[in-house]
Amino acid sequence: MTPAITLNALTKRYGGVAALTDLTLDVPAGSIFGFLGPNGAGKTTALKILAGLSRATSGTATIDGVPVGVQGAHRSRVGYLAQEPRFYGWMTGRQTLEYVASFYAVETSRRQVDELLELVGLADAGDRATKTYSGGMRQRLGIAQALAGNPSVVLLDEPAAALDPLGRHDVLEIMRRLRGDKTIFYSTHILDDVERVSDHVAILDHGRLVVSAPTAELVASAPGTVRVVLIGASDSTAASLAGLPGVSRVAPAGREDDEWSYDITIRDGQTRLVQREVMRLAADAGLIVAANRQQAPGLEEVFLSIVDKERAA
């Protein structure tokens, strides 16, 4: 697919600290593209450069083939939602959208503003002052203002941050409706959401691109995982499980009464070996195995595995 966003060796330094290093990435037009990474990985920095709010130290970026710059022509093609959106509290939601739209070289009619408010679920609150909005309502208004100039590319920095499950669901539905018509490039820590709506994902760590791939392909590459539930385990059991052949990672998954749950990440092709070794360990320690089953891999397993490998290198 034709890229809507192209980054080529993009680098950003703050003094002696590198926030981004040689970031090269293509974002397909019309896609929902999840931009992932731990805190401090450089995601917000990259989004601000694309939005024209920060200048790269070196490298280039384009939006729809137009070079990105702080005062560049690309800005008419971009809508941006900051991680913590702020609005003039005395303005209504409708006035906020009209105000933002005035910065673009397009005219936005009342009908179009009504459509934006409807899209983000604020039709009944559009004439209320934004200071009366809840956090979830402000987040929805933030998405609407990012769309106010009818951009081709929408940049969203943590669009579902601090939202309850219903609010997150609504935000994902908005993104789904925009797929194909807009390119959505967004950062998030909520990996379940990424797996549900994103066509492509990229993982960044310490300012460097670790991997970029279609979401389905990346999930299919996930290491095997086994959920183990042991009765009579103790605080030292996780360490014992981690020492078994074929195990690359053990994550305690909870405890209820005397049942201890663990998620075990398996090295390639060794699931059956690990399940046998769990049974042997339990028998030697006098534990009862309540569950020892393989689980379908998910994006979280991929993410943790990739970041762990990157940091161990």
**17-31, 97-111, 250-264, 275-289 — which is least confidently predicted?**
97-111
pLDDT at 187: 94
1/193 Cα distance (integer angstroms): 23
Q: 35: buried, middle or exposed (CB in 10 Å: 19+, 13-18, 0-12)?
A: buried
Do residues 218 and 233 touch, judged by C-beta distance below 8 A? no
Quick one: pLDDT band at residue 163, thresholds 50, 70, 90?
confident
User: DSSP secondary structure string, 71-103?
Assistant: T-GGGGGEEEE-SS----TTSBHHHHHHHHHTT
Average pLDDT of span 250-255: 90
> Domains plus CATH for the chain?
3-216 (3.40.50.300), 225-296 (3.30.70)
pLDDT of residue 311: 67
Whether 12 has a pLDDT exceeding 70, the answer reads yes
Closest CA to 126 of 154, 95, 151, 148: 95
What mean pLDDT, rounded, does the chain reach?
Answer: 89
Q: What per-residue confidence (pLDDT) applies to 78?
A: 92
pLDDT at 145 over 70: yes
pLDDT value, residue 221: 75
212 bridge partner residues: 202
Pairing status of strand 183-187 against strand 32-36: parallel
Q: What's the mean pLDDT in 287-304?
A: 82
Mean pLDDT of 129-156: 92
Q: pTM for this structure? A: 0.79
Host H or E run for residue 148: none
Indicate whether 191 pLDDT > 90: no
pLDDT tens across 26-61, in order? 999 999 999 998 888 999 999 999 999 999 999 999
Check whether 240 has a pLDDT greater than 80.
Answer: yes
pLDDT of res. 106:
66
Distance CA 207, CA 20 (A): 4
CB crowding 71-109: b at 16 or more within 10 Å, else e: ebebbbbbbbbbeebebeeeebbbbbbbebbeebeeebe
Where does the pLDDT of residue 310 fall: very low under 50, low under 70, confident under 90, or very high at 90 and above?
low
The answer to whether the CB of 149 falls within 8 A of the CB of 177 is no
Q: How many helical (H) and strand (E) elements, i.e. helices and strands, does the chain have?
A: 10, 14
Kindly report which listed range (64-78, 116-130, 280-294) carries the lowest average pLDDT score.
64-78
d(CA 65, CA 69): 12
